[in-house]
């Protein structure tokens, strides 16, 4: 079981490092199918692995100067307000309904990511028709801050926090498409900023779960440690793979995992 956990963690960390999203989306099904966990048990374990791996990626991005840290802190701060509500909803909803929500979210993510891939140039630059809600200074490469920018990013953070608490995912599957749609950031900066938000949001949610008695066994720890290694490898490979290809592979995999979760039902 430890070997299976390590292999699954390696893959999850690599996906997170490559795309800035999807770590939690894939971590929960991986733990459910690979280690036999239930949805409620898998969610916090997934967050520990995803949060730790995202922290490694965010620190790498900070060293490279591509993390928009003010935006990341706003996104995470807004998300921290709604993450506890998401945790309560997860405990309140029946397992089958929670499973169906998870599947629906994955299909929406797949569709949005595929649409984004059609607008993304092969060099991973900004979309061909960049959104204007959050503008980037051509001189500094940083956000031009105003009320519209703050409100837009704050709203994205609120939705991400709710999803993080309820579904046990890092929120990157919402953050990455949202930043690609609402901002003029380049993809490599979007990924790095998303990783910082995921790390911060996961830390808040995991601390709540830990206070409620979360405990990790040996297979779960193997999963977490391997995810850190996978993240490092993913961040090395990311600049060498076209953003469009990554987005389409991500979309196809989302649909496949959603189908498996739907067949499994809410066990």
**Amino acid 265: pLDDT:** 63
Q: Whole-prediction pTM value? A: 0.77
User: Could you please report the per-residue DSSP string of 178-223?
Assistant: HHHHHB---HHHHHHHHHHHHHHHHHHHHHHHHHTT----HHHHHH
Question: How sure is the predictor about 168, in pLDDT bands with cuts at 50, 70 and 90?
Answer: low
Whole-angstrom Cα distance, residue 96 to residue 132? 39
The whole-number average pLDDT for the span 170-175 is 76
Q: Domain tally for the chain?
A: 1
Highest mean pLDDT among 35-39, 192-196, 210-214, 254-258: 192-196
Kindly report, residue by residue over 51-76, the tens digit of the pLDDT: 888 898 899 889 988 899 999 999 99
Q: Half-sphere exposure of 156 toward its Cβ, with a 13 Å CA cutoff?
A: 29
CB 135 within 8 A of CB 184: yes
Spatial distance between the Cα atoms of 25 and 90, rounded to a whole number of angstroms: 16
pLDDT at res. 146? 92
For the chain, how many residues are written?
267
Q: Is pLDDT at 170 greater than 70 in this prediction? A: no
Examine the pLDDT at 167 and tell me if it is beyond 80.
no
Between 130 and 159, the higher pLDDT residue: 159
User: Domain containing 11: what range?
Assistant: 2-264
Residue range 244-260: average pLDDT?
A: 80
pLDDT tens digits, one per residue of 96-137 = 887 788 788 878 878 877 887 776 655 545 455 554 688 888
For every residue of 250-265, DSSP letters joined together read: HHHHHHHHHHHHHHH-
């Amino acid at each position: 079981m430890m070997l299976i956990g390590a292999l699954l963690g390696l893959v999850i960390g690599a996906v997170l490092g490559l795309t800035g999203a999807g770590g939690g989306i894939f971590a929960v099904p991986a733990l459910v199918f690979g280690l036999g966990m239930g949805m409620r048990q898998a969610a916090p374990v997934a967050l520990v692995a995803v949060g730790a791996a995202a922290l490694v990626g965010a620190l790498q991005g900070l060293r490279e100067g591509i993390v928009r840290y003010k935006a990341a802190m706003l996104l995470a701060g807004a998300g921290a307000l709604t993450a506890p509500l998401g945790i309560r909803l997860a405990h309140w909803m029946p397992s089958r309904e929670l499973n169906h929500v998870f599947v629906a979210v994955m299909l929406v993510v797949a569709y949005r990511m595929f649409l984004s891939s059609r607008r993304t140039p092969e060099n991973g630059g900004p979309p061909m028709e960049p959104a204007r809600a959050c503008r980037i200074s051509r001189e500094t490469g940083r956000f031009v801050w105003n009320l519209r920018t703050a409100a837009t990013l704050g709203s994205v953070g609120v939705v991400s926090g709710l999803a993080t608490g309820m579904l046990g995912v890092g929120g990157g599957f919402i953050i990455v498409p949202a930043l690609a749609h609402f901002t003029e950031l380049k993809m490599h900066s979007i990924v790095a900023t998303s990783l910082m938000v995921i790390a911060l949001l996961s830390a808040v949610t995991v601390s709540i779960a830990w206070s409620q008695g979360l405990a990790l066994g040996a297979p779960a720890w193997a999963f977490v440690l391997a995810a850190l290694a996978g993240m490092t490898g993913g961040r090395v490979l990311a600049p060498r793979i076209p953003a469009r290809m990554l987005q389409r592979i991500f979309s196809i995999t989302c649909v496949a995992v959603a189908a498996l979760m739907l067949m499994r039902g809410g066990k």
